[in-house]
Copies of this chain bind each other. A is one copy, B any other.
């Protein structure tokens, strides 16, 4: 079911980090401003929020659900740069055109803000600019961590790191809900779907995790040590 249903119109802008960014002190003002200036929209699972190459007209915040930002390569491959979880901002950038696409991994509730509105507000209120800066830096930290992950690590290390990152943002750290498909995970970690699957079962065989269906992972022991 590929079908959009973005109340209003399709969207906007480049994204943020690697696996989300939680709200924090300096961003409270930004967060609040987005809510004030923005409008709530609903997006269906797998719907496109904005496409690579489109003009950047809006910024977004995830209220509920999960969003993926990805690049489609000439050879048909897809690279998922990051997943956005509730509380994360994405689409904030400077370019006139989106460098990547954003798509809903699950049904989503988003807040959408006109780029022009946010820019106008940030001119009046310098602290907004500082908040955006802080937000962007944190996105960059995560992106950098992802570069390190993709650099020279085994399939097992990648999957473990991925699960750990997810678990850190979950309420119940010992039970990880995977909102995305194996294909999504593979495209994020630079692996194939088969390798992700094999690695998961390998982790189960080792005794690190227990698979409860394909979308739920129970973590044995307290921690996923590398």
Residues of A within 8 A of B (CB): 14, 71, 73-74, 77, 79, 81, 93-95, 99-100, 122-123, 126, 129-130, 132-134, 136-141, 143-144, 146-148, 150-152, 187, 190-191, 226
Contact = CB atoms under 8 A, between A and B. Distances in A.
A187 B148 CA distance: 10
A95 B136 CA distance: 12
Given A95-B141, A141-B99, A81 B150 contact: no
- Interface SS, A side: helix
A187 B187 CA distance: 22
Given A126-B123, A130-B129, A147 B81 contact: yes
Contact of A140 (B143, B187, B190): B143
A82 to B, nearest CB: 9
A100 B143 CA distance: 13
Nearest to A123: B126
A76 to B, nearest CB: 11
30 contacts: A73-B148, A77-B151, A79-B147, A79-B148, A79-B151, A79-B152, A81-B144, A81-B147, A81-B148, A93-B141, A94-B133, A94-B137, A99-B144, A100-B144, A126-B126, A129-B129, A136-B136, A136-B137, A139-B140, A140-B140, A143-B144, A143-B147, A146-B147, A147-B147, A147-B150, A150-B150, A150-B151, A150-B190, A151-B187, A152-B187
